[in-house]
Structures are given as C-alpha cells and as structure tokens.
Structure 1
Amino acid sequence: MKIPVLNISQFKESAPLNDVYINSFSDHIQRNKDLINKPHSHNFYLCVLFTEGTGTHEIDFNSYSINPGRVFFLKPGQTHFWKFETPPQGYIFFHSQEFYDFKFLNHKLHSFPFFYSNQNPPFLDITPENLQKLNLKFKEAYTEYSENNLLRELKIVNSLNDIYIELTRVYTVDINIEKLSSPGYINILEALEHLINDQFKSEKLPKFYADKLCITTKHLNRVVKQTINKTTSQLISERIILEAKRLIVHSHENLANIAETLEFSDYAYFSKFFKLKTGMTPLDFRKKYF
C-alpha cells in the first residue's frame, strides 16, 4: 500500500479557485474526513493556525502537540496525519508553488524560513497578542475566498503573502537573520535537498552531490554546516532513513524487498545501517510503530 498523495482538486471547496484552498479547520476536517483520516502526503504547500483544540500532529514520524496558538507548515511530499483529543478550531490554507511563484516573480516560497529547508521546525507558537492579530488575517483570507468579489484572486494572494510575512517575523525572532538572508548558501542547500530527494536511493556519497552542484565536497559541507549545523552525509542518511520508515510502516513489502528498493546490497547491510541511525532494527521499528 502506497501513501496517498493528495492534490488540491480532491478537497471540497465552497468556491472553486485554481491552485488554492482556504477553509475553517473544523469545516475542513468534516468535509474531507475520508481523505485525511490516515497518513498521507500532499503535492502543495500547507499552513494551519489552531485557535482551539488539542491533540497530536505527526509529520514524517515526528510527533508535535496541537495547542491553541500553534501554526504548522508542510512542504510538498511530507507525510502527516492528525489525531485530536479535543475539537479543533482555526483556519487552514494550501496552494501550489505555481500559485505563489507566478504572482511574486522576485520572491520565492523557499525564502520563508519554514519552507526554506526540511531541517527547520515545521511549527510555530504564537503569543496571545499575535494570535488575535493573525486570526483576523486568516479570517480575512477565508472570507475573501468564500465570496466572489472583484479582483478576488489578487486579494487572496496578497492576504496569504501578508500572513507569511507576519509568521516569518515571529519565526525568526530568535534566529540569526544574516544566516537566513545568505541567498548563495540558501540556494545551494535547496538544490542539495532536491538532488538528495531525487537520487538518494542510488547515490549515497557526498562527492556525487558536490559534483552535480559544481562545487567541492569541502565547500558543500561548509554550506550545510553553516546553514543547518549538519554534514552532507547526515542529510543523505536522514533522507534514506525517512524513506525506509515510510516503506516499513506504510507498505506491505517484506523488509528484504524494502532493502532492495532502497538499493542496499543486501538486507543485512540495510538492517545494520538502519540500526546504527535509529537504535533499532527495521523489524523492531515496524513492531514499535504499530
């Protein structure tokens, strides 16, 4: 069984508009409960603001608590699901990369720190004062989406961009802005993550990625170290382990076939690698997860 990849057109909309969706969160989960009641991924960018409710949000096998004032961000390809303890309230929106990039030719989504790298935390906690202000901005975007006024799409794009800017200011309040605003390093890291995502099964050594990026392995490690305080080898290993966890939990393949899918020479080597990185064997992980 493969993890379902959801697209925007599958979600029930109150007023159709290409490549974007906005809703109150309570209505969203009620309308689309058959789509989101099990782990899935998306082919779009997603942002959720919770004003009420508690529970757990699992993103790529990491669990995060759901609380009032918490905002979550997801990039295309990330696997997630919700588990609620008390009824949630808030707002949700998502959109394609094209919806944003075509409107802002000189500013890209990856410039926002929560979309800049998979290494950055996928959530943000809002203070009560900021929550009230942001709730109004989400509500305004939702109201505009629900109606059919003149220049509706332009107003929605500007509303979402305004929300992203406000969230970025809160997100980066304790972060070195100089690090985030280094376009050369940001571009290299983003290109590296894309390359790893495409090639990690067959290419597991840093030199391959450095050669593809036309830089030395030493410089590539410097970029990764300065931006996210890791090594290139760590990024490659983490992507392999993430895919291994997805296959172990969400597929019915036996573990030997999973090792083959990930292009390990044999299951013994895969099991040793997995245990070294996670502290447990693939079989132990499958048993523990369920």
Structure 2
Amino acid sequence: MKRIPVLQIEAFDHNFNASELYANDFAKHIRVNEKLVHKPHTHNFYLCVIFTEGTGTHEIDFTKYAIEPGSVFFLNPGQTHFWKFTSQPQGYIFFHTLAVFEMAFPQQRLEHFPFYYSINNTPTITLSHNQLLQMVNRLKEIYTAYQETAIFKTEKILSLINLTYIDLAQLYIAKEPEENTTVSAHYVQILKEFEKLLDIHFRQEKSASFYAEKLNITTKHLNRIIKTILDKTTTDLISERTLLEAKRLMVHTSNSLNEISEILGFEDYAYFSRIFKAKTNQTPLSFKNLYAH
C-alpha cells in the first residue's frame, strides 16, 4: 500500500536542535530538499512560510491556493500539502514542534493564534508591500539566528517566532474578520479537543452526541462553540473530516474504493458514493482519476 510520507524535522537538518526547530531561506530549502517537498507529504510539526518572490500554487488538503509575493502560509501537523511553482520562489520558512514552543512560552497556547485555531480556518493571508517588508526583516532575523552558534540560540529564535506569530495574527484578524470574531480561550480549547477526538474516532463515530459526551458538554453547547468559531455545525466537521480522509486514501494509497468506504465506516459503497457526490459534486472515481499519475 502506497502511503503519504510523514516528514520529521530531522529530515531537513541533521545539525542544530534538529528534532524540534528549523529555519531557512526558502529557495535554499526547496533546492536542498527537492526530493521531499515537490510531492504530496505531511509533517509532524507546525510550519510557516512567507514568499517575497515567485508564483505558483500551494495545495493544502486538496484545496489550491495561489502563491504570489506577500503570500504567507500556516500548516498544522497532519495536513497534506505540496508546492508547484511557475516562477522561481524566494522567501523564508521555519517550522517547530508544539512542545518546544509551549515549553518556551508556558502561559501561551499555540492554538490561540487564529490561523492555528482549527484546520478549518483559512491557512493563508497575503500581505501588502509595506507589511511584507516589515515581516521579512523579522524572518531574516530568524534565519540569521538559526545559522549562528551562540548561547541562548533556541530561546532567541523562539522569541522571534512568537513575535512573528503575534504580528501575523493581528494582520490575519484584520484581513479575515468574518472568521475571527473574538473567541474565548475556553472555546478554542474545546474546539481543539473536539478535533483531536474526531481524528481518533471519525471512522466509527459520526454522531455529534458521541463527541459532546466525550467532552462532558451538551450537543447544543458543542454546536454553539463550533458555530461561533467556524460558522459550521458539529455534523459539518464530522462529514468534512471523513471526506478529507476519503480523498487522502483515494490519492495516496492503493486501496480500492470499496475498501476505502469500509475503512471509513460506511455499510456499503453505494451509500458512501452518494454522500461523496452530494458533498463534492463528483463521484469518488472521478475524483480519484483527477489525481491519477
């Protein structure tokens, strides 16, 4: 069975703190890691990249986003993505584990930044020319610090990353106001716990009440939280997570469509096919053929 590769940080740098932190000039990053980054893959870490030059597309969980100067992308662990460039890209990239960030900032939760609330939030913003110039200076600092050998190197890099996230969060909220009503930290925490449970149980459990019970809240309250943050229902998220997994299995494994419907907990393929077509406006077979190589 062909599986999508899950890349670890140490695959990119075998030197400094390689299992928890990485930063690079983007052109150098894709040149050195060409065999890794141009095919669909996923990570076990958080990633941020900012483009100063170049055009193309960035596909994240089967949604394509345009790349242009000023594009910024944020990826959560587990998201499938790859790049396709039509002109030479330039910029900066960094990634890190959850543990190293929250160890440095124990009073702060990474998921409280709006682009990390949920994998359902928009994973990109485009900066104006002046905003880009300001952010590039910070990213250059991160890259320069990463190359140095100095005491408190990790602490310095993480402090710069935190400042970068704060600045980008302010710009993100300003550019995506409909997705970023003021949300309590408690609501964000419950949403994250729900998504963790969903990742574990979605193949077998597709009722909102199951997840509400696991979270020790009512189904109505869980719906209220998800509606407040994402303007969706619990059932919407369960369905979307199931369909995302279906797409991943169709594209990245050799399982038959019948086997995929069984893996995802559907009693028969015909029912799975009807659900898939109703949600995506195409049959499972037509979707699979789009990505056939």
Fold match (TM-score > 0.5): yes
What are the residue-to-residue correspondences of 1:263-282 with 2, within 5 Å? 263-282=265-284
Q: Report what 1:111 is aligned to.
A: 112
Q: Deviations over 1:223-278 (max 9, x none)?
A: 11111111100000000000000111111111111111112111111111111111
Residues 271/15 of structure 1: CA separation in 2 closer, same or farther (3 Å cut): same
How far residue 12 of structure 1 moved from its aligned partner, in angstroms, is 3.2
Q: Report what 1:145 is aligned to.
A: 146
What are the residue-to-residue correspondences of 1:8-27 with 2, within 5 Å? 8-12=9-13, 15-27=16-28
Percent identity over the alignment is 49
How far residue 178 of structure 1 moved from its aligned partner, in angstroms, is 8.1
TM-score by length of 1: 0.96
1:85 aligns with 2:109: no
Distance in 2 of aligned mates of 1:81 and 1:268: 31
Distance in 2 of aligned mates of 1:84 and 1:178: 30
**Gap runs ≥5 in structure 1:** none
Q: Deviations over 1:102-124 (max 9, x none)?
A: 11111010010001111211001
Q: Deviations over 1:74-103 (max 9, x none)?
A: 000000000000000000000000110111
1:221 aligns with 2:223: yes
How far residue 13 of structure 1 moved from its aligned partner, in angstroms, is 5.4
**Gap runs ≥5 in structure 2:** none
Please tell me the residue identity of whatever aligns with 1:125.
T
Asked if the contact 1:13/1:21 (under 8 Å) is kept, the reply is no
How far residue 37 of structure 1 moved from its aligned partner, in angstroms, is 2.0
Aligned residues: 290
* C-alpha RMSD over aligned residues: 1.5
My pick for the range that moved more, 50-59 or 182-191, is 182-191
How far residue 15 of structure 1 moved from its aligned partner, in angstroms, is 4.4
Q: Report what 2:286 is aligned to.
A: 284
1:185 aligns with 2:198: no
Distance in 1 of aligned mates of 2:266 and 2:178: 39
1:203 aligns with 2:205: yes
How far residue 179 of structure 1 moved from its aligned partner, in angstroms, is 3.4
My pick for the range that moved more, 178-187 or 277-286, is 178-187
My pick for the range that moved more, 145-154 or 202-211, is 145-154
Q: Report what 1:230 is aligned to.
A: 232
My pick for the range that moved more, 43-52 or 214-223, is 214-223
Asked if the contact 1:14/1:146 (under 8 Å) is kept, the reply is no
SS across alignment from 1:236? helix
Asked if the contact 1:56/1:82 (under 8 Å) is kept, the reply is yes
Distance in 2 of aligned mates of 1:176 and 1:78: 23
Distance in 1 of aligned mates of 2:182 and 2:192: 12
Distance in 2 of aligned mates of 1:177 and 1:84: 28
Residues 180/171 of structure 1: CA separation in 2 closer, same or farther (3 Å cut): same
TM-score by length of 2: 0.95
Asked if the contact 1:113/1:180 (under 8 Å) is kept, the reply is no
Please tell me the residue identity of whatever aligns with 2:109.
K
Moved over 2 A (4+): 12-18, 174-181
Distance in 2 of aligned mates of 1:191 and 1:200: 14
Please tell me the residue identity of whatever aligns with 2:120.
Q
Asked if the contact 2:183/2:228 (under 8 Å) is kept, the reply is no
Distance in 1 of aligned mates of 2:83 and 2:180: 35
SS across alignment from 2:69? coil
Residues 251/18 of structure 1: CA separation in 2 closer, same or farther (3 Å cut): closer
Distance in 2 of aligned mates of 1:186 and 1:12: 33
Please tell me the residue identity of whatever aligns with 1:39.
P
Asked if the contact 2:121/2:179 (under 8 Å) is kept, the reply is no
